[in-house]
Homo-oligomer: A and B are copies of this chain.
């Protein structure tokens, strides 16, 4: 059917820095798009609601949100951001706000599950059976799609909080994770890089040891994902991954660590997002209940 016959959907990529809003028939048929900075919840949600009210009427809305979030449909807190350290946002009923204001059915998941779905359907995972999407930025988070379905388990993955083995030349730094200190997020997120070396990874010279250290930690993440889920495609996105050469280093290190052991070897790939920076918004639109 043509675009105009399809229902019109809304999408919100709710990030810690900005909200990206869109109206479209699908992730590849977006007809309007808008960004607003993430301020306090009441300001931000009101601005977003107002924007949608100024667009053609949508029949459903998908929200891909920063977390942690409540995904249990049987919980009274479904659709809430839960215990985030982000000031003002803990226990924010983001799905409830839009359900009431826009009076449409709401789909809701983590930003990274949304991005994983989008990469699986339209991006780097188009020919694959399974895909993990990892963002390495202000935090480190991961979403997992197996056989077309985002994995939720007891809640949702918190992939950034595994404990990588420390690099021999990075033993002193305590890590910046308020919960676990030197977990992966505590060691390899943007703030962890800044805390150690005073700048972003991309600003450090190409021969700076930081590149090798961060690649080693991210390679362990890829190794563990393959070991635990056998995921075919591992997509590494987020600001830190835009550092020149980093993806190549992660691939080299992961190959060394894996030692060609895993069954299905050549099917495993560690790649950049096929959708670039649009994976999150595409995921939000995919989350909108379409029937």
Interface residues of A (CB under 8 A from B): 67-70, 72, 82-83, 129-130, 142, 144, 146-147, 149, 151-166, 179-180, 220, 223-232, 257, 259, 261-264, 267-268
Contact = CB atoms under 8 A, between A and B. Distances in A.
A67 B224 contact: no
Number of copies of this protein chain within its complex: 2
Given A130-B153, A155-B267, A268-B154, A228 B261 contact: no
Contacts of A154: 129-130, 226, 230-232, 262-264, 267-268
Nearest to A154: B264
Contacts of A153: 129-130, 146, 226, 229-232, 264
A152 B228 contact: no
A124 B63 CA distance: 34
B228 A144 contact: yes
Contacts of A152: 129-130, 230
Chain A at the B interface: SS class: loop
A111 to B, nearest CB: 14
A233 B158 CA distance: 16
A112 to B, nearest CB: 12
A231 B151 CA distance: 9
Contacts of A230: 151-158
Contacts of A162: 223-224, 227-228
